[in-house]
Structure 1
């Protein structure tokens, strides 16, 4: 018996339909994962990958419950929606997924900004803010030796730290 693929329409997606599809982070992650892996991938692997992102852990640390929650949502909702728009080919019985021809319409939008990258950089900015705030707060409380540094000195250090972090982000994300 031949695999049962969910039928996909051949017509090009409208911009509104495309944005509606890409509005969901899980669907964006499905497309990103499939473009990094040639050929069909197993639904379980895909689910573990997405569960790891959502739970901020490594794939080997994902629990059964975390993976199953993602897998159920992919199986019941996200993959059929992507298949209906010819973005993925999805064999429900075998649990195999791969990019379809319509995925080409999505790629420019996914290349523009990735959520995963923004979340990582947000953590770095938070870390720099905390590291800079601690000595400034101690100086404001008059704790020595922090109180010995002038406000202008702290301002220079904080500005330099954030400029360096911004440059690192620009170089990493844009390949400058």
Structure 2
């Protein structure tokens, strides 16, 4: 169970995944996590459309913005508000993070199923390293041409390189990583 929602209820992992299964909702959580301030629906729709259409804020067409605005207003924000993941004032068109917003953002960092399986790489490296150490212990030629210290250095370097690649890859997989939160102009026409 995650966090207290109004009324003392909590969300299960399943409920969180149900709400966050939609990419547009994940973008909303990411935006609120980055900015931290209450945001107007129009500004949120502009940024979400920019992310979805892989363009700049200025590159979003009025049609793209309207499409995102409408579904956020009618579907996504009310569902997220009901779950307590954010606070949505439909009359004012203002969205605000709640305590639960940051709690559920950890679920945005889960690697999708089509991504590289790092645990399998580490398991394979471990198995190959064990086999190599056993072969060196038994004195199997041509592995004995290099010293034990050279092999230890090779194994250590391989694991370090794999871990470095893993860290670099994971940082780049996070939604919004390296992106500067947009400059918001409050009070702009929607």
TM-score, scaled to structure 1: 0.60
2:96 aligned counterpart, secondary structure: strand
Task: Write the mapping of 1:145-156 to structure 2, written as runs, cut at 5 A.
Answer: none
Give, in whole Å, the separation in 1 of the partners of 2:6 and 2:80: 9
In the TM superposition, residue 63 of structure 1 has moved relative to its aligned partner by 0.8
Structure 1: unaligned runs, 5 residues or longer: 1-6, 119-163
Q: Which residue does the alignment assign to 1:74?
A: 72
Quick check: which has more Rg, 1 or 2? 2
In the TM superposition, residue 103 of structure 1 has moved relative to its aligned partner by 2.0
- Pairwise CA RMSD of aligned residues? 2.7
1:61 counterpart = 2:59: yes
Give, in whole Å, the separation in 1 of the partners of 2:46 and 2:169: 26
| Candidates 159, 165, 171, aligned match of 2:168 | 171
In the TM superposition, residue 105 of structure 1 has moved relative to its aligned partner by 3.4
Q: Which residue does the alignment assign to 2:43?
A: 45
Over 3 Å counting, the alpha-carbon distance change for 1:51 and 1:9 in structure 2 is farther
Which protein has the bigger helix share? 1
1:61 aligned counterpart, secondary structure: coil
Give, in whole Å, the separation in 2 of the partners of 1:44 and 1:66: 12
Structure 2: unaligned runs, 5 residues or longer: 116-160, 173-190
2:75 aligned counterpart, secondary structure: helix
Q: Which residue does the alignment assign to 1:13?
A: 11
1:94 counterpart = 2:104: no
Task: Write the mapping of 1:129-144 to structure 2, written as runs, cut at 5 A.
Answer: none
In the TM superposition, residue 92 of structure 1 has moved relative to its aligned partner by 1.0
Kept in 1, the 8 Å contact 2:33–2:102? The answer is no
TM-score, scaled to structure 2: 0.56
In the TM superposition, residue 69 of structure 1 has moved relative to its aligned partner by 0.4
In the TM superposition, residue 75 of structure 1 has moved relative to its aligned partner by 0.2
Give, in whole Å, the separation in 1 of the partners of 2:73 and 2:25: 12
Over 3 Å counting, the alpha-carbon distance change for 1:44 and 1:9 in structure 2 is farther
In the TM superposition, residue 168 of structure 1 has moved relative to its aligned partner by 6.2
